[in-house]
Structure 1
Amino acid sequence: MSGDDDADEPSLEELGIGALFEEAPEPFLDLVAPPPDELAELLPLGPERGGVPQTWVVTVADAKFHWYDLIAGFPPVPDIRDPVGRYLRRMQFDLEATSEKRLLYFAVNRPLMRFDPSRSVSWGFFSLKLTVPLLVGVEGKKDTLTIELTVPFAATLKKPSVVLSEQFITLNWGGLVEALSIHDVLQQYPNPYHDTTEVQYVGQTRDPLGRLARARVLGVQRVHQRHSEDRDMLLLVQRMMVAVDPPDGDPAALPANQNAVAADLLLKDRVDLVECALIRYFEGPEMHGRSDKEAEVRRQRVREVAQANHLISFRIDLRLEDAGQYHALYSRHVGVSRNHVIDCRVADGEVIVERVAVADPPRA
């Protein structure tokens, strides 16, 4: 990649967030091994990685979308007495919790979608079919969507009262109040919008500073700055499972690796390498928007992990059993699919990726 790519990116001052990043190290520096003196006390607890060649199969255990635009403007603390405020606080808690875990995330864009509070909702006769007005795309084209509600267990009303804002619909069932964003509605209910999801940035959630939940990851902020006027931006957070197949079993199962330090270091090896592979797959070899320093740090980390684990190759399978239209992923370097399967191998610090041909299921 070339450092010249950064010339077209907005500066921190242009983003209006320069001061927030002055003391924050780059997230990718977590890939750099700490100095030997910091490791001295942990060495007896270090992992045994085994001495035989390994192959890995990486799958997605679970995945969840969060609407990044709702936190990107550094909003005030939500009012938890309000249903939308409670929704925003739960999302904040969810994202804050990921900073303690080794999860992966994609920063993704989708077409603008909004509710239209200037128009009224309507009900079907003798049913819970609710028709809500929408504004579609940058041009705000008027449309409607009919969804069929299900009475929740805690409801005391047969039909809820409905409040619309541009981003949320609130359903008051008496004993229960639900707040759903427009993107929740489009994921949970059948609809005619078969838009695809563009992956712009790949990252890892583990971060003692918890920057992702506070919208302070520089790479993600730059993506948001470029697309905030014409696209919605979401975070797809995924927990990955890594099955390791050496002849004598997964080193993680060895008695010496049952302590928390060893288990975490083994998991770090695996998630770091999968992150680097997915960056290469979705962002391409140039890693547009990332610095030469980050590229070199990642190359060194790829070498370390591959050598320490005697890794031959690995496969990443991003398929989900109930994948909907939001999981139809693509990027500037990868065609659209809900079934991304990637074969990977390491050569001189680079992850060589090759997409495996897998047929997409028919649209629901």
Structure 2
Amino acid sequence: MAEQSVRWGILATGGIAAAFTADLVDLPDAELVAVASRSGESARAFAERFGIPRAYGDWEALANDEDIDVVYVATPHSAHRAAAGLCLEAGRNVLCEKPFTLNLREAEELVELARGRGRFLMEAMWMYCNPLIRRLKALVDDGAIGEVRTVQADFGLAGPFPPAHRLRNPALGGGALLDLGVYPVSFAQLLLGEPSDVTARATLSPEGVDLQTGALLSFDGGALASVHCSIVGGTSVTASVTGSRGRIDIPSGFFHPDRFVLHRDGRDPEEFAADPADGPRSSLRHEAREVMRALRAGETESPLVPLEGTLAVMRTLDALRERIGVRYPGEPGDLGDLGDLGKGASYAPVS
């Protein structure tokens, strides 16, 4: 695979699948082979829209298509375990949308399955692959603002969303935390690793999902992260990282920024802007490029989005849900031993 095109299968036909596929079309070394949906009609319409040769009305046919190098799983996250697991069992490599799964137990099952099969697996945390976020992390790692003391990040949508919407449907893993909160949590853990403790408060819907959640993550060494997510109020979607000798502010769209500002003690502020050559800020191509790079290199996971980091984020999300009392259908009453929170704190995504 060192020089040939990477052949993609698309599993699901919703909005995020369309956005990702549109970016794949623009990559000369990506080849679209097949798409699958539980609806044959939906699969055929999606295939026609993007010029994809094969359309399947079931997931199994896609998973068993040996012409596919990697499958992009874009179902609602309540189906990630089933869809990604099916593909891994069939020998396919997988890029799975975030949040990776509903809970840590499901995430661990997928990681174990991928490692047992020797297959590539990566969470589609496009923020980690964004060139400007990578630049920000490199500056922090190099000590540009000293020792990190606090991280703040928020992500809220105005809504209102009706009870039947996927964001409020417990059967689809609804709620602000998993759908939106995964971004500020992942941002904090990119810079600080896994927290040693968490506290949280939430406003719950009549269906039992969180309409908004505020959380404080505590880290060994004394650093704190304050994160907030909401599906009942549009927030500024900003982030700030404060250190012992300065601060970095992302003024908008922190998980796919077009710029950030570095404030260093005793110096004028410095603005870092996205390179226009990297494409629009909404582009998902960076994660696709990383998947293809890793596959050509024979890697089974990405150093930018390591599986231990994904598991660490899922452990934090489980702990937060334990604190706010959100359970999904079929989950046990206890999400696990929260005494293990922090167990994977040593993971380190590459700059």
More helix by share: 2
Give the TM-score normalised by the residue count of structure 1: 0.23
Give the TM-score normalised by the residue count of structure 2: 0.24
Indicate the structure whose relative CO is greater, using CA pairs within 8 Å and at least 6 residues apart. Answer: 1
